[in-house]
Structure 1
Amino acid sequence: MNTTLLFIELLITGLQGSTWVFLLVLSISGYGWLQTQQLQDLGDWSALLTVFVLSFAYAIGIIIDRLADTIFNKWNKQIGKQILPDIARPSIRRFALGKENEYLNNQFEYTRSRIRIVRASSLNFALTAIFATVFIWIQLQFLSIGQKLIYTLIILVGGGLLSGFSIYAWLKLTQTYYRLIQSNYKELS
């Protein structure tokens, strides 16, 4: 896999994950510190802070990618067995196919990258919705119960839809990935 592509997909995943981590921190610590003069004076350190944030996001991206892989692993294997019942290890076949054809290998890599991004996005969208709701209920005491309920409903429905669409995209991309192996395997046989 292209190292730059892997870095970018983990960075995307990590930046998404940083959103819910930030909401968790705000839920625990409050948000008053965001308005302090000391925080505003950090503008002079923006380059260093950017490196720190990107490094943190990348690390979060690795963790979320592994967690999402673990969560989706069983479902992924079931899809592979449905589409490729005669192939014991589709990943080995995929590498053999890609080794012979650079265009096909690039197609496999592109599809795998999209699979990993939407798989992790489904987890990130769900966690962001959950922690945004927690933040509203813990930190936004000036809102009425009715307002909190409305915002909670909007956030949970929106997060649920985004997560659901991501799972649907993952399912379709995973089926495409295995069908790509299947069609090229038949041609090779």
Structure 2
Amino acid sequence: MAATAMFVEVLVVGIGSLAALTVFLVSLAGVKNASRLAPLAESTVIAGLALAFAYALGILVDRAADSVLTSKRRQLRARYFVSSITYAEARRAISSNPDLVARADYARSRMRICRGWVFNSLFLFIVIDFAIMRFPLEGRILMVSATTAIGALLVLGFYVAWRNITLTSYKKLALQAQPMVPHLFPQQVAPVTRAESEGSAL
């Protein structure tokens, strides 16, 4: 089940990245070339290759997004764990509880999707703006303005979602592990709120 969930979440990220790349390449090709290439989209072989490439692209974007946000993620983790060793001990402490592990996997899945779509949203609105400027469309300024505004809101929204899920998950992990390994938490972790209780440990 965990492997299937990881496949799906990487594919969700990869499809968005592939869409951005496709819009960019079509924009470069121009109107005439794009119309000539359109029939290829109906090919089963091309569809299969696109799916495989989307998965590979999803892995690439996921790793890139993780690298960019590593510093911020460590800052969030430091609010509840004094070191990487403490964090690893806490994860081991809950590993024997299938329910907590399942909740943690679900939280990580949501976190990865939001993290990947922070960058997908950025890529998409940039290439859509580029496409609008490349093709003979009316009201370009309005369309570019609207696309940029929507894109900026999506980037911000996915980032805030990623941050909130990540922070709540660390807090939940600290709360869950504290009774099992109290020596790791010399200070009492603040009680989790009802809204945060829907999150889970990373």
Shift of 1:91: 4.8
Distance 1:77 1:12, change over 3 A: same
Which position in structure 1 is the counterpart of 2:135? 140
Shift of 1:164: 0.6
Distance 1:142 1:167 in 2: 32
Shift of 1:93: 2.8
Cα deviation code 1:114-138 (max 9, x no counterpart): 000001101100110011111111x
Kindly indicate whether the alpha-carbon contact (under 8 Å) linking 2:81 and 2:87 is maintained by their aligned counterparts in 1: no
Amino acid at match of 1:64: V
Shift of 1:53: 1.0
- Matching residue within 56, 62, 72 for 2:53: 56
Distance 2:41 2:27 in 1: 22
Distance 1:110 1:128, change over 3 A: same
Which position in structure 2 is the counterpart of 1:115? 111
- Matching residue within 158, 176, 184 for 2:168: 176
Structure 2 residue 159 is the aligned partner of structure 1 residue 163: no
Three-state SS of the structure 2 residue aligned to 1:110 is helix
Structure 1 consecutive aligned stretches of length 4 or more whose deviation exceeds 6 Å? none
Which position in structure 2 is the counterpart of 1:73? 70
**Which of the two has greater helix per residue?**
1
Which position in structure 1 is the counterpart of 2:146? 154
Shift of 1:175: 0.8
Distance 1:42 1:20 in 2: 16
Distance 2:129 2:38 in 1: 25
Kindly indicate whether the alpha-carbon contact (under 8 Å) linking 1:98 and 1:108 is maintained by their aligned counterparts in 2: no
Distance 1:41 1:150 in 2: 32
Kindly indicate whether the alpha-carbon contact (under 8 Å) linking 2:91 and 2:173 is maintained by their aligned counterparts in 1: no
TM-score, with structure 2 as normaliser: 0.82
Which position in structure 2 is the counterpart of 1:40? 39
Which position in structure 1 is the counterpart of 2:15? 15
- Matching residue within 175, 183, 187 for 2:179: 187
Distance 1:42 1:68 in 2: 29
Shift of 1:77: 0.1
> RCO greater where, 1 or 2, for CA within 8 Å and sep 6 or more?
1
Structural RMSD (CA): 1.9
Distance 2:99 2:132 in 1: 49
Structure 2 residue 78 is the aligned partner of structure 1 residue 93: no
Distance 2:47 2:26 in 1: 20
Shift of 1:89: 3.4
Distance 1:115 1:15 in 2: 17
Shift of 1:111: 0.3
Shift of 1:41: 7.0
Kindly indicate whether the alpha-carbon contact (under 8 Å) linking 2:27 and 2:135 is maintained by their aligned counterparts in 1: no
Kindly indicate whether the alpha-carbon contact (under 8 Å) linking 1:97 and 1:105 is maintained by their aligned counterparts in 2: no
